[in-house]
Amino acid sequence: MITVDSLTRLYGDFVAVDGVSFTIGKGEIVGLLGHNGAGKTTIMKMLTGFLEPSSGTISINGLNPEDAPKEVHARIGYLPENCPVYPEMSVIEYLDYAAGLHNVAAEERAAVIGATIERTGLAEKALQPISTLSRGFRQRLGVAQAIVHKPEILILDEPTNGLDPTQIMHMRALIREMASQATVIISTHILQEVQAVCNRVIIIKNGSKALDADLAELQRGSRLLLSTDADAPALETLAARIDAISAIAPTPSRDNINRYSLSLAKDCDHYEVAALVARALLGDGWKVYELHREQRTLETIFGEITTGKRRMDS
């Protein structure tokens, strides 16, 4: 659905986006994650056709935003970081205006606007001037204008920026609901937002792609964590008996239980190795208190990348 190849954007001698490539398929919820100034918003502006790349190509359902801007805009709903609104308009008036810009047929507009207001929880504010809306409701209105024409692709730049915790939960629920009908790209510097709603993450660092991975798989570590009464010599013997274990290291413990991390060979079956470890220890008369695959947080992964300790995955 979306293909980006070697996308680059220069501002004089400054490289804002540097050779970024990725492909996003239909129905994905992708988080574009990076520090402020990493280049996320610039990428989004190029995807939506509001900014021309210095080099590289973009394909939206086979269309180039530069060559077919109207056709691309018809397929995309876009929420900028600071969504422009007209404070003197009412919610309904503004959505009618947005629907007109997106060429929603006049005879269908009332029904479409009504459904959009219902989806975004704006019914109680429909007749109020935008100037009277809270930040949370303005964000909802921004989403409403982005989906009023039923786009195939939804691009949201910092959708929870400035919202309180309750408003953030409502926005997350709305994004999940919208993702059932559209491909969604969310740009943010907030790790929790990606973790809460996305199934894939693309991390941008200094204008370049630093990582592109399935979120669930990314957070599954490559080690097994073991709690046992077995001592270090017993674990050394275990490692010698199971080829898939490449290294064993003790980990800190505040009680009398011995804890170890078991590094495993690449592409091995973690479940099968765990079964072998448990069977071997129990067979030798040791106790197994806990044995599970390491779970890594997105915060840890992001920290590794931004400090240069992890290589790019593609």
DSSP lists the bridge partners of residue 295 as 220
Share of the chain above pLDDT 90, in %: 61
CATH of the domain at 170: 3.40.50.300
287 lies in some domain: yes
Residue 246 shares a structural domain with residue 171: no
* Rounded Cα distance, 139 and 175, in Å: 12
Residue where a domain terminates, one of 193, 217, 241: 217
217 pLDDT band (50/70/90 cuts)?
Answer: confident
Asked if residue 302 is part of any domain, the answer here is no
Are residues 213 and 260 part of one domain? Answer: no
Asked if the structure places residue 143 within a domain, the reply is yes
- If one counts every other C-beta atom within 10 angstroms of the C-beta of residue 52, the result is 10
- Taking the complete model, does pTM exceed 0.85, yes or no? no
Residues composing the chain: 314
Tell me: do 60 and 180 sit in the same domain. Answer: yes
pLDDT score for 309: 52
Given pLDDT bands bounded at 50, 70 and 90, which one contains residue 232?
A: very high
Residue 305 lies in a domain: no
Span 21-25, average pLDDT: 95
pLDDT digits (tens, 9 = 90+) for 85-108: 899 999 999 999 999 999 999 999
301 domain residue, yes or no: no
- Residue that finishes a domain, picked among 197, 217, 237: 217
- In total, how many domains does the chain have? 2
CATH number of the domain to which 235 belongs: 3.30.70.260
Other CB atoms within a 10 A radius of the CB of residue 115 amount to: 13
Q: In terms of residue numbers, what domain contains 144?
A: 2-217
pLDDT in tens, 42-91: 999 999 988 999 999 999 989 988 888 889 989 999 998 877 789 999 99
Tell me the residue type at 253: S
Report the SS3 class of residue 113.
helix
Mean pLDDT confidence for 267-291: 93
Instruction: For 240-274, write each residue's pLDDT tens digit.
Output: 999 999 999 999 887 889 999 999 988 889 899 99
pLDDT at residue 113 is higher than 70: yes
Q: Same structural domain for residues 236 and 90?
A: no
Specify whether 189 is located in the same domain as 257.
no
Say if 313 falls within a structural domain: no
Check whether residue 155 and residue 272 sit in a common domain.
Answer: no
Which of the two residues, 221 and 129, has the higher pLDDT score?
129
In a domain, 304, yes or no: no
Residue 310 forms part of a structural domain? no
Domain check: are 110 and 13 in the same one?
yes
- Cα gap 114→27, rounded to integer Å: 25
Check whether residue 174 and residue 64 sit in a common domain.
yes
Residue 176 has pLDDT above 70, yes or no: yes
